[in-house]
Amino acid sequence: MSSGFSPCELNSHPSALPGDPSLILVTNVDLGDKKLEVMKACSKAIQKATGKPEAYIAVAITDNADVIFGGSDDPTALGNLYSIGAITMESNGEIHASVSDLLKPFGVDTSRMYINFFDMPRANVGWNGKTFAG
């Protein structure tokens, strides 16, 4: 069964493969008419930190959500970033700093935001009717 990827793609570093990463972010603040701008800036920050093609990066943000952090409903955010490779201490820190900077104008302090980073096995990421493992 063909994977649909060229031998060059299959043998390349996982960070060069298409279809990821994906950031899912939930916050209790209202991003208003700046939401799309924040999403696009998150996408660019992920591309810069991971080296992944932006054409394959997905970002979903849910604002105005019911979220507490440390027992308080002060401005906060929780995120999950999934990627095939490119999950490193350096890139993770760079992404957290960038997303934090983007949310600061909305009152979210850097100390009130978690982003969990998940390095996904190729068999556990589906795209285009199959997984990246084939």
Residue range 18-28, pLDDT digits in tens: 457 999 999 99
Average model confidence (pLDDT) for the chain? Answer: 88
Share of the chain above pLDDT 70, in %: 86
Instruction: Please state, as a whole number, how many other Cβ atoms lie within 10 Å of the Cβ of residue 85.
Output: 19
What DSSP letter does each residue of 60-85 carry, written as one string? EEE-S----BTTB-SS-EEEEEEESS
Give pLDDT, residue 19. 53
**Whether 98 contacts 49, CB under 8 Å:** yes
Catalytic residue among 14, 21, 53, 75: 21
Whether 21 sits among the annotated catalytic residues: the reply is yes
Give pLDDT, residue 11. 46
Q: How confident is the model at residue 41 (pLDDT cuts 50, 70, 90)?
A: very high
Give this prediction's pTM.
Answer: 0.85
Residue range 61-120, pLDDT digits in tens: 999 999 999 999 999 999 999 999 899 999 999 999 999 999 999 999 999 999 999 999
> From the CA atom positions of the chain, what is the Rg in Å?
16
- Angle between helix 89-103 and helix 35-50 axes, rounded to 10 deg: 160
77: left (phi over 0), alpha (psi -120 to 50) or beta: beta
